[in-house]
């Protein structure tokens, strides 16, 4: 089946397959949201069914929870887990310091809570997600529906004094209605093009009334696993300062990943 995948999906698959090696028997694992994280969930599900791996997963969205249950992974809440051994998730962008933009899938709040409640955060991504400076991908900001237009105005006014190239703000839509997060909130996408000072921007955004959380993940990611379309995998550990390079061979599977080439 993997022979039919596009290079980008092959890259996601090998990154997820390599990242699954961070998971050990008995661990409490944060399960990310998005197409790359979905590969991981299916890889872990295969390990549960075929290798007897015993883990408990804490999903970062309702759709990840459903996928994990379908894959045979025991799902618990973060309150039940209390703390996690590792969280593995995707990213929309990452830089050389392993700062991230996340939230393209609309689950940034739960993703950030779960990631910061973990001993380790591992990000899985295809090589195209690496950037010199964050900001080409629109920065999601989760806001409560009450007074959302006022919150948007405050954000737009705040961006004037920030070190960014663009200041366009758009309300994320789902058809004709605003997109709703699992918490019932809206998402404003900030089209900034380049973010000069990610720490300052994150701090200032979260001080605006009505803002719940933003999609900048700073000093949270410990390791990034980068997949390439030809099977190469690179593992960078920001704490150890190490870079490990390898290659994973594609193994044909009848239906394990057939519904994840998205």
The answer to the question of whether 103 is labelled as a binding residue is: yes
The answer to the question of whether 33 is labelled as a binding residue is: yes
Q: Which two tokens stand for residue 138?
A: 């629109």
Please state, in angstroms and rounded to a whole number, the distance separating the CA atoms of residues 141 and 189.
Answer: 6
Please state, in angstroms and rounded to a whole number, the distance separating the CA atoms of residues 240 and 53.
Answer: 27
The answer to the question of whether 34 is labelled as a binding residue is: yes
The answer to the question of whether 237 is labelled as a binding residue is: no
The answer to the question of whether 182 is labelled as a binding residue is: no
26 CB-contact burial (10 Å; exposed 0-12 / middle 13-18 / buried 19+) = exposed
Please state, in angstroms and rounded to a whole number, the distance separating the CA atoms of residues 64 and 58.
Answer: 9
Say which residue the tokens 């910061």 belong to.
116
144 CB contacts (<8 Å, ≥6 apart)? 151, 185, 186, 210, 212
The answer to the question of whether 126 is labelled as a binding residue is: no
**Known active-site residue 156:** no
Q: What are phi and psi of 60, to 5 degrees?
A: -100, 5
The answer to the question of whether 129 is labelled as a binding residue is: yes
The answer to the question of whether 223 is labelled as a binding residue is: no
Q: Count the neighbouring beta carbons within 10 Å of the beta carbon of residue 234.
A: 17
The answer to the question of whether 30 is labelled as a binding residue is: no
The answer to the question of whether 17 is labelled as a binding residue is: no
Q: Which residues pair with 164 in a beta bridge?
A: 195
Among 93, 111, 142, 213, the one annotated catalytic: 111
219: DSSP letter: S
| Residue closest to 95 by CA, chosen among 195, 214, 189 | 195
The answer to the question of whether 258 is labelled as a binding residue is: no
208 CB contacts (<8 Å, ≥6 apart)? 151, 154, 155, 158
Q: Which residues are annotated as a binding site for substrate?
A: 33-36, 89-92, 102-105, 129
Active site residues: 111
């Amino acid at each position: 089946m993997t022979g039919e995948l596009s290079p980008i999906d092959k890259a996601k698959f090998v990154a997820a397959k390599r990242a699954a090696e961070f998971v050990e028997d008995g661990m409490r694992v944060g399960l990310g949201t998005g197409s790359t994280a979905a590969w991981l969930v299916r890889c872990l599900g295969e390990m549960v069914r075929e290798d007897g791996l015993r883990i408990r997963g804490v999903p970062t969205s309702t759709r990840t929870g459903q996928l994990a249950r379908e894959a045979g992974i025991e799902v618990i809440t973060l309150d039940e887990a209390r703390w996690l051994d590792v969280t593995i998730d995707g990213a929309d962008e990452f830089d050389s310091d392993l700062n991230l933009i996340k939230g393209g899938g609309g689950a940034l709040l739960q993703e950030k809570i779960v990631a910061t409640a973990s001993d380790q955060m591992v990000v899985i991504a295809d090589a195209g997600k690496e950037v010199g400076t964050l900001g080409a991908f629109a920065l999601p900001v989760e806001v409560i529906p009450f007074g959302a237009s006022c919150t948007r105005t405050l954000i737009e006014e705040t961006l004037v004094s920030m070190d960014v190239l663009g200041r366009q703000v758009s309300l994320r839509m789902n058809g004709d209605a605003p997109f709703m997060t699992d918490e019932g909130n809206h998402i404003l996408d900030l089209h900034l093009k380049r973010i000069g000072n990610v720490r300052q921007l994150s701090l200032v955004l979260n001080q605006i009334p009505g803002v719940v959380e933003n999609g900048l993940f700073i000093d949270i990611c410990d390791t990034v696993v980068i997949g390439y379309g030809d099977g190469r995998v690179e593992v960078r550990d920001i704490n150890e300062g190490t870079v490990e390079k390898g290659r994973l061979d594609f193994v044909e599977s009848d239906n394990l990943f057939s519904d994840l080439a998205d």
